[in-house]
Amino acid sequence: MRIAHLSAEVTPFAKSGGLGDVAGALPKAQAEVGHDVTVWMPLYRQIREKFHDLEPACDGVLRTKLPGSEVPLFLIVADEYFDRKQIYSPNASGEDDGIVRYAFFVRAVFRAMHLLWNTPEILHAHDWHTALAPMLLAWNRDWIFNDTKSVFTIHNLAYQGIYPRSMFPALGLPPDAFPQVEFDGAINLMKGGIVAADVITAVSPTFAREITTRDGGFGLDPILRMRSDRLIGIVNGIDPLIWNPSIDPKIAHHYDASSIEGKLENRKALLESIGMDADDRSFVVGIVGRLTHQKGFDLLFPVLGDLIGAGIRFVMLGSGEPDLEQQLHRYSGGRFWAYVGFQDELAHRIEAGADAFLMPSRFEPCGLNQLYSLAYGTPPIVRRTGGLADTVIGYDGHNRDRATGFTFDDATPSALRDTVLWAQRCYHDPLLWTQLAINGMTQDYSWKHSAEMYCEVYRRVRG
């Protein structure tokens, strides 16, 4: 099949979250099984500064390849919209003009496909930024796309692309399409994509169920229930060339499930690098993530003193909401070490060197760090929601043959505390802990399986 992915982010070119990782890895996995795949994204300032192998493809479009593959990446040139300090920076007046920026991007992609005579059989749009693509196919289709079907993936329903109704003309849709994109008195691009797409996918089966409920739908649950027969959940994968402890160049020592003792060397290297006692065998919990209410880190700080008092150490990497960053600074020192910001190499070293990994998310469409943790033999401690529920099997005292981590249900500090303390007790049983680590490492969360599931969805929508 001819497949085109449209995304605002593509790793390693531009990324702010898991969306970029998916758009950078899924197309490569699909190409490896024989499909004709292209990827489309805006040419941000950061790309122009860091990547210099960009070649002209047609007017207003540059071309390169996804690293480690032959998959073409097409970049839409529009300095007025994309030559900014950050990916999602506002315009020079400080206004959020995302609807204008990404409407231009999508329409430029359609124009370039026309110029290159390269129309896909499947147009796969990711999140609200590219939601105009299925809308154009549904309500303003150019004849050249007569054989194109649309798939719209929801990565994070909390971000919907909501703009004043006065900005509807920026989409270039016919007037009778307005009711399809209007929601609660405003333009809602996520809603338009959901209504227009031939198939909607969510990034885990549990997330797909949660978003049809009042508690998990962020207001769009009635629309998603209306289209539930076209809604499918598929868990994301990870790139085994990047997140693989047997070949990872960013960690101190390589290891796999058959040589898991090598993980102890990474533990030692991590602790030495941050000034903690590497010979102290007390439980070390790693954390990497955005400091937001969604990620649940505000649940940690009220009980952090209890956990540190119980002898647990923490190594944390993250940035985000100012009040949570202040908490990192407040507790940093002694048995709690924190780096405010992001360092990719440090993220890898935490995954390899920590004993366990904490993800207390209030909601988590899929989550990737728990998949990295499983691959690195670092049992995750997670709240049972979204993709975390689909990928981590909690140890309950009786399922050591298949458990891969620890889970809790209530989004409360006490539930988090009790689960971390339960994990600490289990950690002091070396045979049990090794079993849990190996159970996680032998799971297959590479993109190969997920890519096959997406291709099955494509085949189904094409009839």
Q: Please provide the DSSP assignment of 52-94 as one string.
A: ---EEEETTEEEEE-TTS--EEEEE--HHHH-SSSTT---TTS
- 3-state DSSP: the chain helix, strand, coil percent, rounded to 5? 45, 20, 40
Q: What is the pLDDT of residue 290?
A: 85
Do 77 and 99 sit in the same domain of this protein? yes
Taking Cα atoms as reference points, which of 398, 408, 406, 390 lies closest to residue 357?
406
Backbone angles phi, psi at 204, to 5 degrees: -170, 155
For the chain, what is the radius of gyration of the CA atoms?
23
Nearest to 391 by CA among 249, 206, 251, 245: 206
Q: Which residues contact 161 (CB under 8 A, 6 or more apart)?
A: 98, 99, 102, 128, 129, 131, 187, 188, 189, 190
Is residue 142 a part of any domain in this protein? yes
Q: Are residues 376 and 404 in the same domain?
A: yes
In this structure, are 312 and 214 located in the same domain? no
Q: Is residue 388 in some structural domain?
A: yes
* Res 162: pLDDT: 98
Cis ω on the peptide bond leading into residue 179 (within 30° of 0)? no
Query: Token match 């860091």: residue?
Result: 50
> Would you say residue 244 lies in a domain?
no
Whether 88 and 133 map to the same domain: the answer is yes
Give yes or no for a contact between 200 and 225, defined as CB atoms under 8 angstroms apart. no
Claim to verify: residue 31 and residue 174 sit in the same structural domain = yes
Residues 454 and 425 in one domain: no
Please indicate, yes or no, if residue 316 is contained in any of the structural domains. yes
Residue 108 lies in a domain: yes
Residues 6+ apart with CB under 8 A from 227: 194, 195, 200
- Letter string b/e over residues 309-340, b meaning 16 or more CB atoms within 10 A of that residue's CB: eeebbbbbbbbbbeebbebbeebeeebbbbbb
Are 229 and 269 part of one and the same domain?
Answer: no
Cβ atoms within 10 A of the Cβ of 398, count?
7
Strands of 199-202's sheet in order across:
55-58, 61-65, 72-76, 36-42, 2-6, 122-126, 149-154, 199-202, 231-233
Structure tokens at 182: 């209007």
Do 273 and 145 belong together in one domain? no
Number of H helices, E strands in the chain: 18, 18
Q: How many folded domains does the chain comprise? A: 2
Long-range contacts of 341-347 (CB under 8 A, 24+ apart): 341/317, 342/317, 342/318, 343/317, 344/250, 345/250, 346/317, 347/288, 347/317
Question: CA-to-CA distance for 385 and 409, rounded, in angstroms?
Answer: 8
Domain CATH number, residue 166: 3.40.50.2000
* Domain-embedded: residue 248: no
**Within this chain, do residues 296 and 183 fall inside the same structural domain, yes or no?**
no
Amino acid 138: pLDDT: 96
Specify if 385 maps to a domain: yes
> Cα separation of 375 and 352, whole Å?
9
Q: What is the domain range of residue 171? A: 2-237+447-462
pTM score, whole prediction:
0.90
Q: Are 338 and 386 found together in one domain?
A: yes
Q: Read out DSSP for 183-224?
A: ETTEEEHHHHHHHH-SEEEESSHHHHHHTTSTTTSTT-HHHH
**pLDDT for residue 111:** 96
With contact defined as beta carbons under 8 Å apart, do 427 and 86 qualify? no
With CA atoms as reference, report the closest residue to 129 among 235, 4, 9, 292: 9
Picking from 360, 449, 453, 438, the residue whose alpha carbon sits closest to that of residue 403 is 438
Residue 174 lies in a domain: yes
The per-residue pLDDT string of the chain (463 residues; one tens digit each, 9 = 90 and over) reads 999 999 999 999 998 878 998 999 999 999 999 999 999 999 999 999 999 889 999 999 999 999 989 999 999 999 999 999 999 999 999 999 999 999 999 999 999 999 998 899 999 999 999 999 999 999 988 888 999 999 999 999 999 999 999 999 999 999 999 999 999 999 999 999 999 999 999 999 999 999 999 999 999 999 999 999 999 999 999 888 889 999 999 999 999 999 999 999 999 999 999 999 999 999 999 999 888 888 999 999 999 999 999 999 999 998 888 888 888 888 888 899 999 888 889 999 999 999 999 999 999 999 999 999 999 999 999 999 999 999 999 999 999 999 999 999 999 999 999 999 999 999 999 999 999 999 999 998 889 889 999 999 999 999 8
Judgement on whether residues 206 and 281 belong to the same structural domain of the protein: no
How much is the pLDDT for 321? 86
**CB atoms closer than 10 angstroms to residue 145:** 18
- Domain check: are 413 and 456 in the same one? no
